[in-house]
Structure 1
Amino acid sequence: MKFGNGFSLFWIIYLLFFAIGLPLILHYAGDHHQSDFEMTNTSASKAFILLGVGTALWFIVFIFYIKKFLVNLALKKNDIKVLNMIGLLLLIALAAGILVYTYINESRGYGWRYLYFWHPYIFIPSSFIFYSGLFFDITKGLFSKFRANP
């Protein structure tokens, strides 16, 4: 394995922990669920706006993933297409799983009113967007001079 590939793999795993693992750990270990009082005082329109924002952020992540890992690699004709499709399916399952699991366990009959801005359904795709911009755009520019062949 080349240094660049190992370096990239390390940072991808590292950022995946901070994008997925840490928000889930903080939400469930910190017991950051909405109380009944907070849910009764949350309007339905605010809840649906937050649901829409979270869904839109997830679609941005899906489109970025498809563009970056499926379309670009299909044009290059790499052999790691099965694996990228599995990654996309796992990403879709993560989004749907978080939404269904939290609706079943956190809504307590109040519908989508359990959502708030720092909820993992909204925060995880925001983290993906931030870290992918950081990883793929900023670090690519910083380290391109080291990876370029003279």
Structure 2
Amino acid sequence: MEVGDMKLHMRKFSGASPSPSPSPAAAAAAAPALETPQPFAAPAALQPAPSAPPPTRAAPAAAKPDEGLIAVRAPMLGRFYRTPSPSEPPFVEVGTHVEPDDTLCLVEVMKLFNTVPAGVRGTVTAFLVEHNAMVEEDQILVTIRPDAPAARTS
């Protein structure tokens, strides 16, 4: 390639160390040498890498709550918060009577805060997760002792 009085010689790199290119006169005088392709060595038999033990995670809280208690589970993977903001008190405490629509806590995923409702009328008996802890989907967060059904009169 020539641009003005500057000449640029290019060639495909063959993997060997580059050598100075011969002058155009010497290149024209020499017969073009053909490179013979070298056969590739067959790859060694692939051995599977030794499997590492799976990463350990904190086991989710008991998969089944005590008899008579209702388990409120995490709707998704995320961070568990008992308070609406760091400077405010928790939504509810152990011993608090809740209605089905009352918010028990928040689960945050990518800065989106999802409220977790009680889902049942009753009394909060335990929080099974620490504030600001990571939780997995379907992990038990809170247990509630449901109110006894009202006696029906006929």
- Calculate the TM-score normalised by the size of structure 1: 0.24
Structure 1 or 2: more strand by fraction: 2
Rg comparison, structure with higher value: 2
Higher relative contact order (CA 8 A, sep 6+): 1
